[in-house]
Structure 1
Amino acid sequence: MSGRGIVVAIDGPSGSGKSTVSRQVAGRLGLAYLDTGAMYRAATWWCRRREVELDDAAAVAETVRHMPLSMVTDPAGPRVVCDDVDITAAIREADVTAVVSKVATNLEVRAELARLQREIIASESTDPASRSGGAGVVAEGRDITTVVAPDADVRILLVADENARLARRARERHGSADDTAIAATRDEVLRRDADDSTVSAFLTAADGVVTVDSSTLGIEETVAAVLSVITEAAEAVNR
């Protein structure tokens, strides 16, 4: 692609399969994996631990600027560590999920975390001492294809229809996709997308971003589709 390692950026709405697919693609290509959404969850966890009122935008932004965050980018075992505490599981708890949009829609927080995300992407795609050895990274999450890494070698918008996204998140959270489980996840998926869309464009592809629709695809099929996009991009550069 260029003198540096490859950068693959994957965006899309909740439940489209971004995290699972990105991890598998990174693992198969020997790349690092960066879940940028987890960084917003970590920021939320940190602010709550510091007893910062999430409606105080300035206080939240200042707290996040000093957050001692470390992202472990191994696709086989990605972890989030804050203040020497492994919070990988804690940031997925309901109490964080319910309020993460308050932090994720804070524009100063978004600017700070975007800066950190660019640092990680640059390290993984250039530094032989990084986890990928400079081979590159698959980074996924809001704004990744447009704001954080608009110059990524491959930019993909992974989408799925509402029913598919709700069913996937219900199975992930509750082990089934019956009416009760879907109702329990509706707020998490649709409300968060509505909140986040006020500060981030992730529902339609920007120029140069390839759309992959996973509505009727399984994980393996979606991974194959994303790998195909990456292969085509590499071949186009080498022609």
Structure 2
Amino acid sequence: MLIAIDGPSGSGKSTTAKLLARRLGLGYLDTGALYRAATTEYLRCFPEGASGDEVARLVSDAHLVCDTSPDAPCFSINGTDVTAEIREPRISAAVSTVATNLEVRRLLTAHMRRVIDEHGRRIVVEGRDITTVVAPDADVRVLLVADPEARVARRAAEVAGKANRDEVTDQVLRRDRDDSTVSNFTDAADGVTVIDSTFLSPDEVVDRIIALLP
């Protein structure tokens, strides 16, 4: 059972995917965290910035490890645990530099597919282009959307005082704008079910996805 969930920032992808994985006894892969982990290494190695080729080489040479437990997923890169660091506002502000690099996307897409195969395709995968690029053959494909104000409010609650409202708004809406140049996570592809989470609880979203199971 391979379930693919796409959506913009703050649409509830991570919360939904974790709950779904727990309820169905599946693995869980947060693909956005892989880009964030790569961003921590990018900022460490290139604090003044780097060319696209340099960023791609950095990711190509990196040893990236991701845990697929829905309860406490951990991430490390080149032996350094970055589980907490990837959630910092400075990573959110810089991640598009890495995520919009087409070669980086190719490399990490291959990494994601290896993780899916290692799990025997029994995993919930969430991100931006899972339903269309990473796993277009998933058993269930969902595009999760929500009102922009709701998405900003959710992200503000997540960072809990680490960034002000303007910074959170920029991170959410600008990231969507930047990432939309390399992936389409606003329009559902054929066969993808759209679920609007604006007025739904996480459990209600999960119930709707489970109703789609073959």
Please tell me the TM-score bracket, short chain as reference.
over 0.9
Structure 1 residue 53, shift from structure 2 partner: 5.4
1:21 to 16, 19, 27: 16
Gaps of 5+ in 1: 1-5, 127-135, 235-239
**Partner AA of 1:206 in structure 2:** A
Task: Provide the TM-score with structure 1 as the length reference.
Answer: 0.85
Deviation digits for residues 105-129 of structure 1, max 9, x if unmatched? 0000000000000110111126xxx
Relative contact order, CA 8 A, sep 6+: which one is greater? 2
Structure 2 partner of 1:132: none
| Inter-partner Cα distance in structure 1 for 2:49 and 2:112 | 22
Q: Are residues 53 and 144 of structure 1, via their aligned partners in 2, closer, same or farther at CA, if it must alter by over 3 Å?
A: farther
Aligned to 2:171: 188
Match of 2:123 in 1: 137
2:203 aligned residue (212, 220, 223): 220
How far residue 13 of structure 1 moved from its aligned partner, in angstroms, is 0.5
Taking the aligned partners of 2:54 and 2:17, their CA distance within structure 1 comes to: 33
| Larger displacement relative to structure 2 (193-202 or 53-62) | 53-62
1:101 maps to amino acid = S
The size of the alignment, in residue pairs, is 213
Check conservation: 1:174, 1:181, Cα contact below 8 A. Answer: no
Aligned Cα root-mean-square deviation (Å):
1.5
8 Å contact 2:19–2:203 — kept in the other structure? no
Would you say the 8 A contact 1:155–1:208 is kept in 2?
Answer: yes
Amino acid of the structure 2 residue aligned with 1:117: M
SS in 2 for 1:110: helix
**Structure 2 spans left out of the alignment, 5+ residues:** none
- The answer to whether structure 1 residue 206 and structure 2 residue 189 are counterparts is yes
1:170 matched to 2:153: no
C-alpha contact (below 8 Å) 2:38/2:77 kept by paired residues:
no
1:130 corresponds to which residue?
Answer: none
